Structure 1
Amino acid sequence: MSDSATTITFQFNDGQPAQTHVAVSGESVLDVALNNGIQLQHNCGGVCGCSTCHVYINAGGDDLPEISDKEEDFIDRAENPRINSRLACQCVVERDMQLVVTVPPQHFLGH
Structure 2
Amino acid sequence: MKVVNINFKFSDGSPDQSHPAVEGESVLDVALNNSIKLQHNCGGVCGCSTCHVYVEAGMDDLPEISDKEEDYIDRAVDPRINSRLACQCVIQGNEDVVVTIPEQDFLGH
| TM-score range for the pair, normalised by the shorter chain length | over 0.9
Question: For residues 2 and 86 of structure 2, what CA distance do their matches in structure 1 show?
Answer: 19
Query: Which residue of structure 1 lines up, in the alignment, with residue 71 of structure 2?
Result: 73
Supply the AA of the counterpart residue of 1:68: S
Question: For residues 94 and 19 of structure 2, what CA distance do their matches in structure 1 show?
Answer: 13
- Normalising by structure 2, we get a TM-score of 0.96
**Residue 46 of structure 1, aligned match among 44, 47, 63:** 44
- Normalising by structure 1, we get a TM-score of 0.94
Supply the AA of the counterpart residue of 1:64: L
Query: Which residue of structure 1 lines up, in the alignment, with residue 103 of structure 2?
Result: 105
Question: For residues 28 and 46 of structure 1, what CA distance do their matches in structure 2 show?
Answer: 9
Query: Which residue of structure 1 lines up, in the alignment, with residue 3 of structure 2?
Result: 5
Supply the AA of the counterpart residue of 2:30: V
RMSD: 0.9
Query: Which residue of structure 2 lines up, in the alignment, with residue 25 of structure 1?
Result: 23
Structure 2, unaligned runs of 5 or more: none
Identity fraction in percent: 71
Q: Could you list the runs of 4 or more consecutive aligned residues of structure 1 that deviate by over 2 angstroms after TM superposition?
A: none
Residue pair 1:7, 1:23 contacting (<8 A) in 2 also: yes
Aligned pair count reads 108
Residue pair 1:5, 1:97 contacting (<8 A) in 2 also: no
Structure 1, unaligned runs of 5 or more: none
